[in-house]
Structure 1
Amino acid sequence: MRHRLVVVAFALVTCACGGPTTSPESDPRATEYALIPSPQATASCAVSFPGENQQLNCLGKVEGGVAPYQYWWQYLITRNGVEEPYGWFQGSTTFSIPCDNGLYPDAEYFFIKFQYKVVDANTYESNTVTSRTFRCVD
């Protein structure tokens, strides 16, 4: 996990007795930076219900970072052993796609998996989460 450095800086003027003339809290020149963890993404995907007209539903979550967030999804489809990414697109915390995974005579299937990441208000990018692979009727 990446962290951002906290730096607290202030001028200190001492009097003849060696003590400070003002407290750091009252010095208007004091600068403070907070330690904010980078965003961390998690996601889960599941098929909605068995049978026809199934949906593959994914839910993404984020912790850390600074809101507001941008949510990014990508899906990768494998046909005949060749994986093809479909590019990143901005969305919300949920994503759904039709995925009928029943067993049909002479049916052709493809395999799909999802990737999810988040970019926070400071443009820090989270880790990329990859779902398990799902089989769908082509």
Structure 2
Amino acid sequence: MSEKQIEPSPSVKKIEYPSKFSVKLKHYLYNLRHYARYPLRSGGAVTFASSIVILSIVVNAGIYLWKGSEHPTNNFRWLIWKHTGKLPEELKKKEDLITEWTIKNYEWKKEYVPVPGVRPLMPARDTSLGAP
């Protein structure tokens, strides 16, 4: 007896199962997307840090557009320009004026006057013996 092979009819489609590699790749990509989006949903510290970064970028860009490229946009650039000698003369005068005003108005000039009934935090030093 000869066995005849039964051929499937063209109307019945053969089910193709995905390979193990493609299934694992899909799961990996799903997990990657899920955990990549997690910090954006976690709130708290991440939101605070990202808002600080965005705010600093916007402020520095605004200062750059408003004042131009010949003005230091932040304290770091100010100190670098001051150290290298690139700081314009007008800004040096402005810095001296602000420093003088700050020293004049905010430096502590009064002598220590003990308050009656309040014990001092640290005893006064005896400098008559030459102690530092």
Greater helix share, structure number: 2
Higher relative contact order (CA 8 A, sep 6+): 1
TM norm structure 1: 0.18
TM norm structure 2: 0.19
